[in-house]
Chain A
Amino acid sequence: MARLTVNPTRMELRRLKTRLKTATRGHKLLKDKSDEMVRRFMELIRLNKSLREEIEGEVKEALRSFMLARAVASSEDIEQVLSMPKVRVSIETGTKNIMGVDVPDVNINMPAPEDLLPYAFAGTSSDLDTAVVKLSGLTEKLLRLAEVEKTCNMLADEIEKNRRRVNALEYVMIPQLNETIKYILMKLDENERGNLTRLMKVKSLMEERDAT
């Protein structure tokens, strides 16, 4: 591992040691964060999968009834009866924070289901009623799915980013710092020894001179 290019001085050594301490602590924190995020992610993705499986079946069924309704009525009629929806699902959107990620948080205000159909029964087939009722029952689930799936998307993204950070610290930053600290220590020791030998040499030279 390549070491950093620094001057082998005591001041530099002290600076690097603090950096190493920070890096180690950061690494531990990020690793804990990663573990917790993965745990949350696993919970959510399981929920996501089961929700999606449910919804895919149900939406298909609702749309099939709708297609039947379309087949027997003219498309103008259908468009006409649906063009003025009586109910309007209103949603409140906010964000909530999961492990430092702002994920969507959707509140659904579902109107009472009894007066759902915006049209009279004459002129349309019962398949249309079935489709509309089914779909409105599905709306809440669909929105829940939207929330969960988006959360999973964002968490997955964040987990990946976080893993990069952890790896950068673990495999690049910390070894580099260790290497450099070791290098400075060796260099300082070497200087110390050099100094000592020089002194001893000088001393012996002086003693030789005094003896003669």
Chain B
Amino acid sequence: MAKSGKIAVIGDKDSVLAFKAVGAETFSPSGQFETNDLVKKLKDDYAVIFITEDLAEQISDTIDKLKTRAYPAVIPIPAGNGSNGFGMRGIRKDVEKAIGADILFGD
């Protein structure tokens, strides 16, 4: 059941504008609640939602809820000012959930 999907990029203006050039749709919400509403609105229309890490951290509850569905994939990406490690923490959380201990990062 392959269907075509759209890509959304959510983040501050400096970070997401560049993604416009590759054909993704960009959104720049201001504030936590607006971000939350935006993700909820986009979740049925877009297959992949990239969201900058600082915003992802603010609405991690909403993102966790979407984790059990196949689509959309909400993926944190670093913003222009660098990564704050939220994405990596997500991977570590997965490992701990599945294996019961963090065996990948080992620190």
Query: Cβ of B73 < 8 Å from any Cβ of A?
Result: yes
Residue of A whose beta carbon sits closest to that of B23? A88
Question: In the bound complex, do residue A92 and residue B4 qualify as a contact, i.e. CB atoms below 8 Å apart?
Answer: yes
Query: Cβ of B40 < 8 Å from any Cβ of A?
Result: no
Near A by CB (< 8 A), chain B positions 14-73 give 14-15, 17-24, 47-48, 50, 67-68, 70-71, 73
Question: In the bound complex, do residue A159 and residue B97 qualify as a contact, i.e. CB atoms below 8 Å apart?
Answer: yes
Query: Cβ of A17 < 8 Å from any Cβ of B?
Result: no
Residue of B whose beta carbon sits closest to that of A96? B70
Total A residues in contact with B, Cβ cutoff 8 Å? 61
Query: Cβ of B91 < 8 Å from any Cβ of A?
Result: yes
Tell me how many residue pairs across A and B have CB atoms closer than 8 Å.
154
User: How far apart are the CA atoms of A82 and B21 in the complex, in Å?
Assistant: 6
Total B residues in contact with A, Cβ cutoff 8 Å? 42
Query: Cβ of A20 < 8 Å from any Cβ of B?
Result: no
Interfacial chain B residues near A118, Cβ < 8 Å:
21
7 pairs from A and B in contact (CB 8 Å cutoff):
A49-B88, A62-B18, A70-B14, A85-B20, A87-B23, A152-B91, A156-B97
- Point out residues on B near A: beta carbons under 8 Å: 1-7, 14-15, 17-24, 47-48, 50, 67-68, 70-71, 73, 75, 77-80, 82-83, 87-88, 90-91, 94-95, 97-99, 104
- Point out residues on A near B: beta carbons under 8 Å: 38, 41-42, 45-46, 48-49, 52, 55-56, 59-60, 62-64, 66-67, 70, 78-79, 82-83, 85, 87-95, 102-107, 116-118, 131-132, 135-136, 139, 142-143, 145-147, 149-150, 152-157, 159-160
Nearest 4 A/B pairs, CB to CB: A88-B23, A94-B2, A150-B73, A93-B5
